[in-house]
Chains A and B, each alone.
Chain A
Amino acid sequence: MERIYLIFIFCSLFVANVFAQQELSGIVKDEKGVGIAGVSIRVLPSGRTLGATNDGGSFKVTIPAGSTAFSFVHAAYETQSANIVSGKVYYTISMSDKSVEIETVTVGYVARKKESLTGSAVVIKADEIKDIPAANFTDLLQGRVPGMNVQLNTGTPGVRGSMSIRGLNSATVNMSGDDAYLNATSPLFVIDGVPVDEGNSFEYGFQTQGPGVSPLSMIPVEDLEEIVVLKDAQATALYGSRGAYGVILVNTKRGKSKIPIVSYQSKYFVNTIPSLRSVIGGINERRMRVNQILQNDTTYESALDLINRTPMLADSLNAYYNNSTNWQSYFYGMTLNTQQSLNISGGDQSFNYKIAPGYYKENGIVQNTGFTRYTMNTNMQYRPSNKFLMSVFMNANMVRNSFGSGNAYQQRGVATGANTTSLLPEPSIYSGSMEALASTNVMNDNKTGYANTQVQLEYEIFKGFKATSNVNFTYDNANQDKFTPEILNSGESLIYIFNSRQNKLYNRNMLQYNTTFGTEKHNLLTYFFNEVEMRGFRAEAMQLIGTGSDNIQTALSYNTRDTKGGVLDNLNTFRSASYAGNMTYQYDSKYIFELSYRLDGSSNRGSAGLWSHNPSVGLRWNLNSENFMEDVDWLSLANIRTSWGRNIVPTGSIYDAYGRYTMESTTYNGLPTVTINTSQIPNTNLEPIVTTQLNLGVELGLWGDRLMVTYENYYKQVDKELVDLFLPNILGFEKQKVNEQSIVNIGHELSLFYRPNFSNPDWKATIFANGALNKDYLTDLVGDMRQEINQHTDPNLSYIHILKRLGRNALTNILYDYRGVYQNDSDVPVNPATGLRYRMGGILGDDGFFRAGDPIFTDLNGDYVLDEQDLVFAGNSQPRFTGGFGATIQYKNWSLQPNFVFTLKRDIVNNAIANYFRAYYNPAGGGALLPIEDYNYWTPANTSADYPNPFDFRRANLINAYRYNSTLFQEDGSYLKFSSATLSYNVDRDYLQSRWNMSGLRLFLTADNVYTFSGYSGPDPELVSALGYDTSDGYPRARRFTLGLDIRF
């Protein structure tokens, strides 16, 4: 809380120089010395408007007591302020013409004036985010773009957090139980004008093959110029199918200064470990186990018997529990990391260049994990005449990373091992915790090389008519070497080798025509382009068992019988060809009408209809250009825009469309036979997923754009999602992939920017805040179903099932409704018909009846039996409200940038806590106990408890009080995160120049992932899967402190 106070103090610092009420006068002139009429005069700090200048530019006002400065505002001039000086009664103010900076945004590969856009685009300048070290720039966008939900749900170095634009795009849950994950629907990234697919082999699910390094994590943050997030269909339609889930445009820096600039940025950052869990340790654990048995067994004799039959408990001198190690100190450690980058650029309009080498090294806080990146990004631009432009990009990057014994998302071994404090659970050899050894001794060395080259040519054939062509080639090569020593693999070492390569050729050719006619009032911009992409992917893997010695870590093993290897079945060749066009008509820069259309063909599609059509239309009304708005001077900007559009995403593979034919193992009459694979019937009528989006946006600039308000409202419908339809047995095939699942997202987004006006020009500040409210609804299910339950294959109901029901939110948990603990036996309801107490279903005998200390689960159907009929629908794993706020506050050379992000209303299933308690189910068994004394659980002495009796181990498996699928563990995962703060200092330029011959020096301190405010009982409400499961075996996120400097020559 202290940190929050700090901010308030900063905000109130500018109160100074207070004056009493008095009358003041003066004149406001323009640059030529002519008085300006109609300048409104406000007084600070109250901001009250006191009056306006007369026709001659003169004014006379009475300022209220406590005023410190004037502010002069006029639509056509830059706002000017003047301090009120004691004793001075006449003021001469000079106002300069408002410099009109045309802000352009590149949408659909064409740079456009921001005020002509009909779609929804949010621009993030790299300067706003560059001070936070990150392997992946997308992590820095958290809380910056309303409607873009970024959850940093993994701390694995180099792996990005989850990201979705405008709600839930897919309701398809893969796998089930703890391993369930949502279909990934990644936005399209367009990097320097080239679409980049994250591809299927990157970061999806838990079975990430190979190094899992996405092309996105190859981009150094320091090399970014700006990031544009396109959210609605009008903005994304020109990107076709792949833009259905939003488009993120990334532009890297280019040279523009005539004098060559060398800038160097250096950051050192410390990753600190989050608070570790407390553990019991050694002899205490044995005592706890013995006590639990003695106090909770059915009889004393039975308890003694159980203890005596468990040698490690019976023998008070045993080595297991008389040693104690906090393994966490071996798994986790603070690390020092660095990011270095150099940017050399220069040139002028006709020729410029940039060379940007970079280095990033981050050691994970989990032993044996890390991410190191070497980058060399270059570009050059040549413009011999106004008609011709050529630019070339050449980027070569390399990444080395290691996941230790885990994968991109999980460190299951470490998570399990961290609980252990003793030599128990015993390993196969007397060596302590296997997980501990695995995490430190598994050699996991991944290399990914990425080369990306691009040539852009532009030629203006005649005025307004331009032709551009763009050719890009990328190649990436990923390799994984993983070696598990024999001690960790039942006496035989294990080698896993993975190699993949992906190459892509991309070409875009565009014709563009821009003309103005009819007294310059009509403007028409049209363009047409085609895009072709060819992509190939192939991966090979090899697994060798047994090398004879741990010193031999590769080469052919002696155990050739168990050696596996070959080309993985995810090899693919992909081609796409697209044609797109756009027409934008503007009348007087007031009314804008835009139409675009794109045809997409891809080799993934079924035979029926090769092309998918992506139309969109947008309208915009720049209200502030209207005559009647001229008098409304508090409103400096106003526009309304609306759009409708569709993105059509082809789905399914060639096998889904045409079937898979396989040779049968049996012959007939001695002749070979071929069958069509009967698990899935081909569907040549596979239709693409259709995303339809309606968008309404209002942008307002108030008081000379000091307050900018953007409100957007959207309706997004995702139709025809590809799902399995199970077929009746008369059709031979098991199932069919059909396009029958729809979800609708409705949301509101609000974004605010505020630049307060300070009387003291040493002070500057920008404050931003944004938030988005999204609700999803399931509107269609496969095969006319009204509801569907995604079951875990394991029929025992302790796993969470997911309900999909029409009209509800798309993904609902199905749980037992926990209502507390029975304080006494007499609190258990008794069935009046039978005289029997409420009991567990499926269990005969006295132990099945609930008693004191047992959980109260609602008996939904009133039959006095708890069984699956009593499950309730509860919870929504998707966040309802996300956003962030922050500020940049500058005082002279000092600058402070605090940032906050929040997620509100989200249900998390805290399996981690459930596991704490479940460890007590079997005191005589393996596993490790964790201390639970912080929780208010039932004991005979403490009957008024929140948690049921954890020690009743004889009945634990019958009653299953700590079942995962209970509302006891479903918690609200709302949080407010103080995500980062940067304090920086710019050294005075004149001093630098004279003393060091530098043109700039900036020092900064950054803290990120500072603190999370949350009522959630688990370690981190953000560190959960997309379905809201907190299984505690994720990679914790480090708190980081950075010291950095920027030098410019």
Chain B
Amino acid sequence: MSVLMTSCGKDFLTVRPIEDLTGNNYWQTKNDVDMFVQGLYSNFRNATMNHAFFPSTGDFRCAPINGTSGSNGASAFMNHIRYLRFNDLNGLFAQYFGTDRGYGENGDYFGFKNIRNWSRFYLLIQKANIAIYEINRMEGGILSDADRKRYVAEAVFMRNLSYFFLVRLFGDVPYYTEAYSSTAIGRSPMLDVLESIYQDMHAHYMDLPWTYEDPTLVGNKAMRGGALALMMHINMWLAGFSDTNKNQFYERVEVLGKELVEQNDGAYELLPLQRTKQIFKGRTKEGLFEIAQNFNYGELFHLSATYADYVLRAPYKYVTITKSYIHYDPAFMKKMYPESASDERKTYWFEDIYATNGDFVCLKYTNVFADENNEDNNPDDNAIVFRYADAILLRAEALAELNRDDEAKAALNMVRTRANATLVTDTGEELKDAIWWERVRELLGEGHFFYDLVRTKKVLNTDYTPATMSVSAFSQRAWTWPIDPSAYTNNPYMTPNTYWNN
């Protein structure tokens, strides 16, 4: 009788509200799943492109950049250029506690507090966990098995991508994968988190397609190439911070990279540099994972979010902006792009590459379709998170570390060939050095510079950065960001990043 009661009672007692959707009448159709998973990408955009995220975390920290005199870049408004170059994050945040510039949304125009506050990433993680849980418990027949796996893998990708970003920002971070988690937890060791997210991604990446038939989705939704690139990055980071067993991680990178290059069914390729505008507009065969921006849909990044804003001037910007806000130390540029060496990237990607007077321009993101009559509009380009060239170079680096120099050179020269640059013939340490510089050269302005410095520990070495860290600072994790005090609220297990005394 109780069975009868429970079964008929359940239907009787289930009420469907008509004014809003609840969890017990969501998750009923494929469209429900699609729109929720789509929301995860939107969350990632909110976590990274609503403030000066990529430039501040990846491009500017410990980079040989200077505010160009006579431009906004030299004004107090862009003091952060100097603070970031010298890794003075306390200085960076201190300016927003002063009497003249409040810490409010307006005072902190660049949204640095959103970098130290990790809650936007964790919102995405919580939602991804929910998506995975709910999709897996949906009744059969709504989704085909392949669709179900793909949606789950997309959510897994977004979750692990977020964790990877968090690890690179904060080192040890709280890690959880259960849906609707409501328990306060402390931070897990960085290497454990990385290993966990690698395993998690590895279990699901095969469910993702190499690419999508719908051209608008290419690069904008999780693809197997993006997942492979993510796992390669994870393992390079693991290798960089592991004292022993480094090779195990390099081996993984090599295997993943091999799969990416050799089995991609023609999904990915390096496009000719003449098509640079297209590459950075996005949705090409070179993009592995991108964040969508589209003026026509009203989907725009915050003005502070792009690297391009610092390195463009008229005619790539509004006519009154005659100088780029920053320029690189000429010595650094010359080391990266020697004046004598032939390299088409110098032509297609830069103007006045060694200039310090504001003529310097990096042309990677220049699709100003939005509004040419106003200053305050971003180039209408996607933000590239992982690019094919990036993955190829990671593989080259891993191969070189495994002392498989010939294969490493082959990988490296894939990228150089595209740029019509002279092929590298170095071996050993020189080859490794060449690969590192190739990454800087190829990926400048794409948010990789500082992380490459950190994971290779080259941040300790004046050859690679003008603002080196001491060994003790490095071991105290001077490469992290301070954790926002809001993390301690309602969480007794939380610990700070002590280097920043927060």
Contacts and interface: CB of A to CB of B under 8 A. Distances in A.
Interface of A: 532, 567, 569, 571-577, 579, 599, 601-603, 605, 607, 610-611, 654-655, 657-664, 666-676, 678, 681-684, 725-733, 736, 738, 783
Contacts of B456: none
23 contacts: A607-B24, A610-B6, A610-B10, A654-B17, A657-B23, A659-B22, A660-B21, A661-B22, A664-B42, A669-B216, A669-B299, A673-B35, A673-B38, A673-B42, A676-B130, A726-B489, A729-B118, A730-B491, A732-B123, A732-B126, A732-B127, A738-B182, A783-B490
Contact of A728 (B5, B36, B38, B490): B490
Contacts of B292: 668-669
A277 B23 CA distance: 56
Given A668-B39, A732-B127, 17 more contacts: A567-B19, A573-B17, A603-B15, A605-B13, A654-B22, A654-B24, A668-B45, A668-B292, A669-B217, A669-B292, A670-B299, A671-B34, A682-B23, A729-B489, A730-B491, A731-B126, A733-B123
Contact of B39 (A664, A726, A728): A664
B180 A730 contact: no
B487 interface: yes
B91 interface: no
Contact of B19 (A571, A667, A732): A571
A661 B23 contact: yes
Interface in B184-228: 184-185, 216-217, 220-221
B294 A670 contact: yes
B20 A730 contact: no
B22 A660 contact: yes
Contacts of B13: 575-577, 601-603, 605, 610
Contacts of A726: 489-490
Contacts of B32: 674
Contacts of A611: 6, 9
A654 B174 CA distance: 30
Nearest 9 interchain pairs by C-beta: A658-B23, A732-B126, A728-B491, A732-B123, A673-B39, A661-B21, A729-B119, A674-B35, A603-B15
A611 B182 CA distance: 24
Given A611-B6, A662-B20, A683-B180, A675 B127 contact: yes
Given A659-B23, A661-B23, A729 B299 contact: no
Contacts of A671: 34-35, 38
Nearest to B34: A671
B451 to A, nearest CB: 22
B482 to A, nearest CB: 15
Interface in B426-478: none
B141 interface: no
Nearest to B128: A732
B19 A669 contact: no
A731 B21 contact: no
Contact of B182 (A572, A579, A736): A736
B183 to A, nearest CB: 8
A655 B23 CA distance: 8
Contact of A577 (B9, B24, B41, B494): B9
Contacts of B118: 729-730
B125 interface: yes
Contact of A575 (B15, B36, B119): B15
B119 to A, nearest CB: 4
B187 to A, nearest CB: 9
B136 interface: no
A727 B10 contact: no
B216 to A, nearest CB: 7
A575 B126 CA distance: 32
Q: Which of A610, A668, A670 has the most CB of B within 10 A?
A: A668
Given A610-B9, A610-B10, A660-B21, A730 B299 contact: no
Given A669-B220, A674-B32, A728-B494, A603 B26 contact: no
B9 A670 contact: no
Contact of A730 (B21, B42, B174, B297): B174
Contacts of B26: 658, 661, 674
Given A668-B292, A673-B38, A673-B39, A727 B182 contact: yes
B489 to A, nearest CB: 7
A572 B299 contact: no
Given A610-B9, A660-B21, A666 B490 contact: no
B39 A733 contact: no
Interface string B153-185: 000000000000000000000101000111011
B56 to A, nearest CB: 20
Given A666-B298, A669-B216, A572 B17 contact: yes
A409 to B, nearest CB: 28
Nearest to A579: B5
Contacts of A567: 19
A724 B23 CA distance: 19
Contacts of A655: 17, 20, 22
A684 B27 CA distance: 15
Nearest to B27: A661
Nearest to B43: A675
Given A668-B299, A669-B41, A728 B489 contact: yes
A727 B492 CA distance: 11
B38 A603 contact: no
Contacts of B41: 668-669, 673
B17 A666 contact: no
A129 to B, nearest CB: 39
Nearest to B491: A728
B14 interface: yes
A729 B22 CA distance: 23
Contacts of A730: 118-119, 122, 174, 176, 184-185, 487, 491
A532 B39 CA distance: 41
A343 B21 CA distance: 51
Q: Which of A572, A573, A660, A676 has the most CB of B within 10 A?
A: A676
A730 B181 CA distance: 10
Contacts of A658: 22-24, 26
Contacts of B18: 571
Contacts of B174: 730
Contacts of B36: 661, 673-676
Contacts of B119: 729-730, 732
A503 to B, nearest CB: 15
Interface string B38-56: 1101110100000000000
A676 B21 CA distance: 9
A903 B19 CA distance: 45
A605 B10 CA distance: 11
A607 B137 CA distance: 14
Contacts of B127: 675-676, 732
Contacts of A731: 122, 126, 181-182, 184
Nearest to A656: B22
Contacts of A660: 20-22
Nearest to B166: A730
A727 B5 contact: no
B417 interface: no
Contacts of A569: 19
A115 B500 CA distance: 75
Given A576-B13, A610-B6, A610-B13, A727 B490 contact: yes
A671 to B, nearest CB: 5
A730 B298 CA distance: 29
Nearest to A569: B19
A681 B182 CA distance: 8
B123 to A, nearest CB: 4
A932 to B, nearest CB: 43
B222 to A, nearest CB: 12
B469 to A, nearest CB: 27
Contacts of A667: 42, 297-299
Contacts of B298: 666-667
B120 to A, nearest CB: 9
Contacts of B220: 669
